Structure 1
């Protein structure tokens, strides 16, 4: 899907001042080229890694994780 700069400008012009701060920070992070590309993790997966992954999946299934809406609310307030 092609997005034009005109569309982005339209969206930016309709942001609140508080949202504009958040979007500006995100855009600045996206255009930074100061860091080299992060190499692929070639370390083997350990039993601790697997246990952590399973714990995260279990927490997700139990609804114990923070929702994106809650994170957005926290960032905006």
Structure 2
């Protein structure tokens, strides 16, 4: 999907002040990456351990045991 700079600026204008930091960090990372196509595809086979972790996470999701994004951000930054 192509997006014009005009449309992008419209969306940017609708963001709240608290959204500027994460959006600007994402834009910074994207602008430093030449192309998403240069990232190699993960071609390793899915293991039983992977499947178990996926199932465990899905069960937690269904039970409403979600992780707050603010906690994740704090953990990654510290």
Please tell me whether Structure 1 or Structure 2 has the larger radius of gyration of its CA atoms: 1
Q: Alpha-carbon deviation of 1:52? A: 0.8
Under a length normalisation based on structure 2, what TM-score does the superposition of the two structures give? 0.61
Q: Alpha-carbon deviation of 1:5? A: 1.0
Under a length normalisation based on structure 1, what TM-score does the superposition of the two structures give? 0.61
Provide the aligned length of Structure 1 versus Structure 2.
70
Q: Deviations over 1:39-68 (max 9, x none)?
A: 2222222221111111111111111122xx
Greater helix content? 2
- Structure 2 unaligned spans of 5+: 74-78
* RMSD of aligned residue pairs (Cα, Å): 2.8
Q: Please say which of residues 10-19 and 23-32 is displaced more in the overlay.
A: 10-19
Q: Alpha-carbon deviation of 1:8? A: 2.2
